[in-house]
Structure formats: structure tokens, C-alpha cells
Amino acid sequence: MKHGNKAASGPACLVDFRADNPDATWNHFREEQRTCYEVVRDSVLSDQSGLCAYCEILLQEDNRQVAHFHPKSDTTTSHNWSLDWENLWLACKGGTQIHHHSDPDHYLPPLPENISCDERKGRQILDSLVLSPSDVPSFPRIFRFNQRIDGMEIVPDEKGCQQAALPVEKVQKTIDEFNLNCPRLSLARMKCYQPIESAIKRLRQSGIKDTSGALEKLVKRHLSKRSNGHWPAFFTLVRWRFGNTAEQYLQSIAYQG
């Protein structure tokens, strides 16, 4: 889970619709204002640079949905969470799409063990208990990873959490509630991690005395936005593996999320 950027006020069409229809539901907006809905969805996708707001998998057209961090079903107050721009994120469908049965990154039985992200959170109100993407700082990095036999486990980075003044327990709660260590995601992260580890190993065995320049090139190759403006999948995992060299690179490009 990485920092989530959001444009200041959201698309103008959403602002206008909300002003004219303060009590409208999300379904009403999506069905009656289809063009604006697509503008909103694409704006969030651009803000997130192509990654799921929670697990950081690359979003695909048939595996993405607008997710409300605070449940849109909550009507206990006068606030309309459905149309709150700050409450809108784009997430994968959490491993629920059976038509992706040939791709274990997207669907892996058994369920619900492998359901993650917004599909796992459901209608729970967790605002004060977990981090939203906007709560995750750009710097320092607050997650690290452990290599297990069955995949790469995401855990709080205690030092980063301390620097960011974030309770480790809250960061762990975020991991747990979005089920970011389900076997499906752990295995997918391992598939991402292995070629990077192999590239680093080849560099170490190359005989180059000063590998710093070569490592910087490796970081840039693996941690730059693609031609479509999207970050690589599992951005935080890649960032963690390259350590200080990654942090220096991200600082150099004024990374903000």
C-alpha cells in the first residue's frame, strides 16, 4: 500500500452533480451520469498511476472498481459518502473474479481466504482503525517485506512507522483488514520479487568494482513509471528491495505518490 494522491477537488462534472444532487446515491450517479462516472473513474486511475489503492496490483479494465474507503452505505449522518471525492479510490476486485481462473494473481481458490482489498473490507467502518491510501506517507516507507516459503509477506516497518509517527498496530491492522497477506497476493509478490533479486545477484557477480552506478540504473529501470504513466506493480515491494538507492532515486524525481 502506497501513498495515494488525489487531485484537489475532483472533476468539475462531479462537483456540479454533487451541488445539484446532494443526496444522490452512487448507483444513481453511475447510471444516470455515465460519462461523468467514467471521467471520475479515469481521474482516480490517473491519480493512482494504474495501481490498486490497497494491494498495488496493476488494474485492468475487467478487474477494477471505484471503492469507497468509508462505506457509501453509511447513512447515519447527513454526509453523503457516495459522492465525496476524498472517499473515492480505485481498487481491484479483490480476487473475486472467477473468469480470471487461469491467472492466480487475480483469482486463487479457496475463497474467502484469498479475497482482499475493498472486497474484503466490505461495509465495515474502519476510518479510525486503519490507514486510507492518503494516510500513507510518501516518505518514509512504512512497510517492509519478509520472504517466506509460500510468498512475500508485507509487515510494518517499525523504523519508518516511528519516523512517520504512525502506530505500528494501526499499520498492521491495515494489512489485516485488507487481507494483504492472503496467499494469492503473497505469491504474486514473490513472482515480482524473484526477477529483481536475480538481477541484483547478477550485478553482484559481474565483477564490477563499483556497482553503485549500475545499481542506480537498475533502480530506474524497475521503479520508473511506464510509458502509460503507471507505476510498476507492487511498487512498495520494489522500493523496499532496492533500499537506500530507491529512496535516493525517489527523492531525486520528487516522488509524491
Residue 45: its pLDDT value, please? Answer: 97
User: For residue 6, is it within any domain?
Assistant: no
Q: What's the pLDDT at 231?
A: 97
With cut-offs at 50, 70 and 90, classify the pLDDT of residue 174: very high
Between the alpha carbon of residue 84 and those of residues 68, 75, 144, 240, the distances in Å are 9, 13, 31, 32
The percent of residues above 70 in pLDDT, for the chain, comes to: 99
Judge whether 87 lies within some domain: yes
Q: What is the value of pTM for the model shown?
A: 0.95
Average pLDDT for residues 6-35, to the nearest whole number?
94
pLDDT of residue 23: 94
Whether the pLDDT of residue 86 is over 90: the answer is yes
Residue 102 reports pLDDT greater than 80: no
Q: Taking all residues of the chain, what is their mean pLDDT, rounded to a whole number?
A: 95
pLDDT of residue 101 exceeding 90: no
Q: Name the residue among 201, 199, 195 with its Cα closest to residue 233.
A: 195
Residue 5 in any domain: the answer is: no
Residue range 99-128: average pLDDT? 90
- Is there a cis peptide before residue 156, judged by omega within 30 degrees of 0? no
Mean pLDDT of 5-23: 93
Q: Is 208 part of a structural domain of the chain?
A: yes
Q: How many domains does the chain have?
A: 1
d(CA 28, CA 64): 19
Residue 242 inside a domain? The answer is yes
Mean pLDDT of the 188-197 span: 97
Decide if 199 is inside a domain: yes
How many Å apart are CA 36 and CA 16, to the nearest integer? Answer: 10
Model confidence band, residue 104 (pLDDT cutoffs 50, 70, 90): confident
Is 7 among the domain residues?
no
pLDDT at 210 over 90: no
Residue 1: inside a domain: no
Residue 8 pLDDT grade (very low, low, confident, very high; cuts 50, 70, 90): confident
Would you state the cell numbers that stand for residue 60, as one nine-digit string? 485492468
pLDDT of 9: 84
Q: What b/e sequence results for 166-203 when a residue is b if at least 16 CB atoms lie within 10 Å of its CB, and e otherwise?
A: beeeebebbbebbbbbbbbbbbbbbebbeebeeebeee
Helical pair 183-204 and 212-223, crossing angle rounded to 10 deg: 150
Q: Is the pLDDT of residue 209 over 80?
A: no
Which residues constitute the domain of residue 185? Answer: 12-252
